Structure 1
Amino acid sequence: NREVDFVLVRGNEPVALFEAKEGGSTIDKSGRYFGERLNVPLFQVVHKSEKVEEFPGKCFIIPASDFLMLAG
């Protein structure tokens, strides 16, 4: 089964996907699948990560601490 944790929607259209992980440095397969099909970026928010990483297909790993600072 494929799923993502959160979908950001504007005007009934998906604009970004979010996947939350405890650790890891590879992009979630389900997140990548939906990101490619919907043509939206995937932001994988990782608790045990220290740097932002960009991957092909508009996929990003973001440390949870950085993400929470952006969210205010």
Structure 2
Amino acid sequence: IKVDPRYTSQCCPCCGHVEKSNRNKKIHLFTCKKCGYKSNDDRIGAMNLYRMGINYLANSQVPNTVVAE
């Protein structure tokens, strides 16, 4: 599946706050300006992409199947 990667390194996985200044590219540090959550910026992006993929799969409808008796 494909998910839109835009802003995934700027979005807090805890509170959902998106802000460009949440991410310090020079030292690869993400610090949420709203809740204070801190982690590696690439890890934050990966966490958000993973969550988006899981949400996509959870919201997908499973096709109807016929069960033989």
Question: Is TM (by shorter chain) over 0.5?
Answer: no
TM-score for the superposition, normalised by structure 2: 0.25
Structure with a larger share of its residues in helix: 2
Greater gyration radius: 2
**More contact order relative to length (CA 8 Å, sep ≥ 6):** 2
